[in-house]
Amino acid sequence: MRRNRRVKILATLGPASSERETILALFRAGADAFRINMSHSSHEVLNRLVGLIRSVEAECGRPISILADLQGPKLRVGTFADDAVQLPVGATFTLDSDPTPGNIDRVHLPHPEILQALEPGHRLLVDDGKIRLVTLHCDGRTAVTRVEVGGRISNRKGVSVPDSTIPIGALTDKDRRDLDAALAAEVDWIALSFVQRPDDIAEVRKVARGRAGILSKIEKPQAIERLDEIIEMSDALMVARGDLGVEMPLEAVPGLQKRITRACRRAGRPVVVATQMLESMISSPVPTRAEVSDVATAVYEGADAIMLSAESAAGAFPIDAVATMSKIAEQAERDPYYAGILNAQRPEPQATGADAISAAARQIAETLNLAAIVCYTASGATALRAARERPEVPLVALSPIPSTARRLALVYGLHTVVSEDAVDQDDMVEKACKFAIQDGFAAAGQRIIIMAGVPFGTRGATNLLRLAFADDVTAR
């Protein structure tokens, strides 16, 4: 099964998509990877869903990527004596360390780390920004604020502090338990929520020890400030536009999406664009025109993957949402302007052998109008470099390691195949031609270009380009 598009689709599983038949239908409709949200999934649910996805993978004969999304620290206000109060604009409102139920004047904030980080002028956004408070003064135990945007505030509503760097890591005790469970279930990617600094990623990497890729979700201003460092420490990034749009001005999010996407491409890191892409399809069988344009914009930007959240997890039309997203992406990639836009954004090759080989393979393939680029990859690094070039011809990645093939299923343009490594150059050509023909990328008599490393089986040794006729095998 081959896709007619290069961008990948990441679909979130949930109550509307937790049965095998639905997961199979989602994959056939166009989902290349599945997200399991640990905010709403027990370890039992995690293991069941992973088992169902692997069953679908075996039936379809295609590697499928699984991402476990850790909840991250959830910051919330305490409770109120009457469950809720109405805050008027201009009023003074206090958040403190007293666990007594709150009232119109104050409420408990059970996060001493916030009270210690707040300074005059720092904002507190409650209930996804519906309530906005500005700190007047704070002594480390009590923060006195002015209500800038008022309204109803009720028990345990979420609070974010976009102007403050909170001195806590991105992993809670729940996250550590969920991380261990996800690694034991052999998921392919771990998504880390509310990343603020590179050290947050280092903590997860120590635990994962290479067993899964680390995807950092960019949803806080502090992460934007240290974006290059975070990219360097991560295996992939996600533009988490929901929380990013709460903590930063909404009008800044489109520009940040472009900045993050292009920075990831320069670094050769996959990037996922997420949140509210087809939000109306939670309850409608068709999206809005604005949503169609939003999805297409991410495709034109060269994102590796685009994500569905509640649309596939809890919506009334999960399969239609995936199919619609796939059609939008296919149409965008057929646009005559598409290749030119991607080419204009192409970064210069870095001074490495893998970069030089990848750039040469792309240029040769496009100049000679070859049928496909086939690359051998064990760790996935060669395939990532090839994908960074965004070639106009199909890109096939052969790996002897199933976990590598699965992880690469989230990456732009890569048609991944699990195959034994080549033993010599003749075997290399034979296997490459076999899969190029078998999976419909080349016909007998067409030429392909092969990227590999000699000696075979050596990681990080991409140093060989070979032109081959696809009938090298069929003629035997």
Token pair listed for 270: 């996959």
Per the annotation, the verdict on 289 as an active-site residue is no
What was the pLDDT predicted at 461?
73
Token pair listed for 235: 């295996």
Question: Each residue of 125-172: pLDDT tens digit?
Answer: 999 899 999 999 999 999 999 999 999 999 999 999 999 988 887 799
What was the pLDDT predicted at 361?
97
For all residues of the chain together, what is the average pLDDT?
Answer: 94
What was the pLDDT predicted at 460?
65
Question: Each residue of 384-421: pLDDT tens digit?
Answer: 999 999 999 999 999 999 999 999 999 999 999 999 98
Task: Give the rounded percent of residues in the chain with a pLDDT score beyond 70.
Answer: 98
What mean pLDDT is predicted for residues 84-92?
97
Q: How confident is the model at residue 354 (pLDDT cuts 50, 70, 90)?
A: confident
Q: How confident is the model at residue 238 (pLDDT cuts 50, 70, 90)?
A: very high
Question: Each residue of 321-331: pLDDT tens digit?
Answer: 999 999 999 99
What mean pLDDT is predicted for residues 95-107?
97
Of these residues, 275, 377, 404, 416, which one is catalytic? 275
The number of residues in the chain equals 476
Main-chain dihedrals φ then ψ at residue 115, nearest 5 degrees: -60, -30
Alpha-carbon distances, residue 284 vs 30, 297, 321 (angstroms): 19, 22, 9
For residues 419 and 374, give the distance between their C-alpha atoms in angstroms, rounded to a whole number: 12
For residues 317 and 11, give the distance between their C-alpha atoms in angstroms, rounded to a whole number: 13
What was the pLDDT predicted at 9?
98
Count of beta carbons in the 10 Å neighbourhood of residue 255: 9
What mean pLDDT is predicted for residues 196-216?
95
Spans of all domains in the chain = 8-72+170-335, 84-160, 353-474
Per the annotation, the verdict on 209 as an active-site residue is no
> What's the whole-model pTM score?
0.93
Task: Please tell me the CATH code under which domain 8-72+170-335 is placed.
Answer: 3.20.20.60
Question: Each residue of 426-449: pLDDT tens digit?
Answer: 999 999 999 999 999 999 889 999
CATH of 353-474, one of 3.40.1380.20, 3.30.200.20, 3.60.20.30, 3.30.590.20: 3.40.1380.20
Of these residues, 3, 20, 74, 76, which one is catalytic? 76
For residues 415 and 383, give the distance between their C-alpha atoms in angstroms, rounded to a whole number: 10
What mean pLDDT is predicted for residues 10-25?
98
Per the annotation, the verdict on 76 as an active-site residue is yes
* pLDDT at residue 472 is higher than 60: no
What was the pLDDT predicted at 474?
44
What was the pLDDT predicted at 475?
39
What was the pLDDT predicted at 473?
52
Question: Each residue of 43-85: pLDDT tens digit?
Answer: 999 999 999 999 999 999 999 999 999 999 889 999 999 999 9
Of these residues, 6, 8, 35, 62, which one is catalytic? 35
Question: Each residue of 256-310: pLDDT tens digit?
Answer: 999 999 999 999 999 999 999 999 999 999 999 999 999 999 999 999 999 999 9
Measured at the CA of 42, the angle between CA 156 and CA 25, to 5 degrees, comes to 115
Of these residues, 6, 106, 217, 431, which one is catalytic? 217
Looking at domain 84-160, its CATH architecture is: Beta Barrel (2.40)
